[in-house]
Amino acid sequence: MKKICPVSGKEFEITNDDLKFYEKMGVPAPKLCPRERQRRRIAFRNFTHLYQRKCDGTGKNIISMYHADQPFPVFENEYWWGDQWSGLDYAQNFDFSRPFFDQYAELADKVPRVNTFNLQSENATYANFAWMAKNCYLVFGCVRDEDCLYGHIVWDSKDCVDNLYVFRCEWCSHCTDCVDCYDVHFSTESANCNESYFLHDCRGCTNCFGCTNLRQKQYYFMNQECTKEEYFEKLKNIQPFSEQTLQSGKQWLEKLKKEQCIFPPFFGVKTENVSGDHIYESKNCHGCFDTKQCEDSKYLYTAHGEQNCYDISFTGANARFCYECLTIGNTENLLFSHGINQCSNLAYCELCYSSHDLFGCNGLRNAQYCIFNKQYSKEEYFKLREKIIQHMTKHGEWGEFFPTKLSPFSYNESIVEEYFPLTKKEALSQGYKWKEDTETTHYEGPKVKIPETIEEVTNDICKQILTCEVTGKHYRIQKDELRFYKKMGLPLPRVCPDERHRQRMELRNARVLHNRSCDKCGIDIQTTFLPDRPEKVFCEKCYLNEIN
């Protein structure tokens, strides 16, 4: 059946398989199109905006994703996870004369929240949404990483600096969408490559520089085959790398991508019956983006290890039968929930752990049969739950994720701005909040000149305040960062971490599939490349014929 999304005004399709899924989950078909559902969810996630404030439990100065002007108390990690308080102390009765979301908003405004969402992590203070991360600095959405700096969605990786969406990589920097790479830099959409620079869509390559579409190759320099001696001679001529070498390398790769490179309809590794982009080791997944090791699912966005799930964003691992959820892990049968780990049978819950059978709860641990944080017997719980669902259905609330106005974050504070960019004017006119940039740095000393090559840099650079060449913001070089660049022989970055991240995000297409025809055989394909983009995009068959 076809529906019109009331937000985007666009038509979207609900298939018979979708209806079966919704029926199994006990929910009506969604009102919004998948893209608007995604936008509504991820507006609840602030990834990178960290503020200094006081812990409302201990009074200590802490950093937090919640600004001090938020209505709810914020506790530092150790205190939040301790026994000094309980979410059950904030219990509310359900009032059948009022809508559900208004009452939930009151609960969410009073239950304490944890300052940053870092679980089982060690020495990763300046991080958010880090899970099992060790010795990491300014990493966001990073899982099982060690000794990584400046990463967004860097998973199972070690000694990596400044990357976006990399998986099982070591000693890599400035890479986007790379898998199983070692000592690879400034590269995109490549897998199983070693000791290389400026690659795009290369697989199983070693010692290559400035190349695209290569398979199992060695010693290629600017897409030309060389002998081993020639390759290292060419490399020696441009080493130590200067800032200028890096700029030329980037420009060369961009030129190759526009003029020579052949793009597949989507970037994937070991996939079967999938659609979307950036899908690895997954099968029967459709409309999925940035999905790893998932099966039988639809509309997953940055997901790992999901099965039989729909509409999930930014998940750690192992969710089964979950629908319209954000940041969940080790969960089963969740509906419209956010920030949940080791739970089952939850609906409309946020920040709950090791619990089951909760409805409309916030900040509970080891709990069961609660509604609005109030304890009920098992029998009372199921009776009241059913009654509330009827009440919500009457008010048009049941079956929809929390409305965006319940997010504690402004549009430009949450990650939604990175995936659905809007200007301030557009955001305000669409009813979102907007936060003014309040960053204040008081450095007024002389501008520090960063040496052209890493060889000229001394340890003193770590004491200095640098000025971003693009934004004018101030930033520093960390000791571990300097060590990395010294070891890799790469010059220090001249732009601040936020700008580096923004430039990497710019290399990725929006999460929208467009109809286009194969540039070789003309058949219809679906791809994230808009029809008027200059890149050559082939259907899977033509691409494989040409490349492998």
Which spans of this chain sit near Zn ion (rule: CB under 5 A)? Answer: 518, 520-521, 539, 542
Rounded CA separation 341/354 (Å): 7
Q: Which residue has the tokens 């939850």?
A: 346
| Residue closer to Zn ion (CB basis): 396 or 531 | 531
Please give the torsion angle defined by the CA atoms of residues 177, 181, 184 and 186, in that order, rounded to the nearest 10 degrees.
0
Return the DSSP state at 471: T
Nearest distance in Å: CB 445, Zn ion: 58
Rounded CA separation 235/466 (Å): 29
Q: What is the DSSP string of 297-361?
A: EEEEEEEESEES-EEEES--S-EEEEEEEEEEEEEEEEES-EEEEEEEEEES-EEEEEEEEEES-
| Residue closer to Zn ion (CB basis): 71 or 522 | 522
Q: What is the DSSP string of 96-139?
A: TTS-HHHHHHHHHTTS-EESS--BS-BS--SEES-BS-BS-EEE
Tell me which H or E stretch contains 439.
Answer: none
Nearest distance in Å: CB 213, Zn ion: 16
| Residue closer to Zn ion (CB basis): 512 or 521 | 521
| Residue closer to Zn ion (CB basis): 358 or 525 | 525
Nearest distance in Å: CB 522, Zn ion: 7
Nearest distance in Å: CB 520, Zn ion: 4
Nearest distance in Å: CB 519, Zn ion: 8
Give CB contacts under 8 A, 24+ apart, made by 535-538.
535/257, 535/258, 535/261, 535/263, 536/261, 536/262, 536/263, 537/262, 537/263, 537/264, 537/265, 538/262, 538/263, 538/264, 538/265
Return the DSSP state at 405: G
Nearest distance in Å: CB 525, Zn ion: 7
Per the structure block, which two tokens stand in for 259? 């003029």
Nearest distance in Å: CB 546, Zn ion: 9
| Residue closer to Zn ion (CB basis): 326 or 542 | 542
| Residue closer to Zn ion (CB basis): 107 or 537 | 537
- What are the angstrom distances between the C-alpha of 343 and each of 212, 320, 418? 44, 11, 29
The set of residues, in sequence order, having a beta carbon less than 8 Å from that of 384 and lying 6+ positions away, is: 94, 371, 376
| Residue closer to Zn ion (CB basis): 347 or 518 | 518
Rounded CA separation 209/409 (Å): 42
Nearest distance in Å: CB 260, Zn ion: 18
| Residue closer to Zn ion (CB basis): 118 or 527 | 527
Nearest distance in Å: CB 542, Zn ion: 3
| Residue closer to Zn ion (CB basis): 447 or 541 | 541
| Residue closer to Zn ion (CB basis): 262 or 505 | 262
Nearest distance in Å: CB 264, Zn ion: 10
For residues 350 and 360, is the Cβ–Cβ distance under 8 A?
Answer: no
Burial 405-443 (b: 16+ CB within 10 A, else e): ebbbbbbbbbbbbbbbebeeeebeeeebbbbeeeeeeee
| Residue closer to Zn ion (CB basis): 29 or 523 | 523
| Residue closer to Zn ion (CB basis): 275 or 313 | 275
- What are the angstrom distances between the C-alpha of 545 and each of 39, 256, 484, 521, 539? 37, 20, 39, 12, 10
Nearest distance in Å: CB 533, Zn ion: 17
Nearest distance in Å: CB 537, Zn ion: 9
Alpha carbons within 13 A on the beta-carbon side of 364: 30
Helix (H, G, I), strand (E, B) or coil at 78: helix
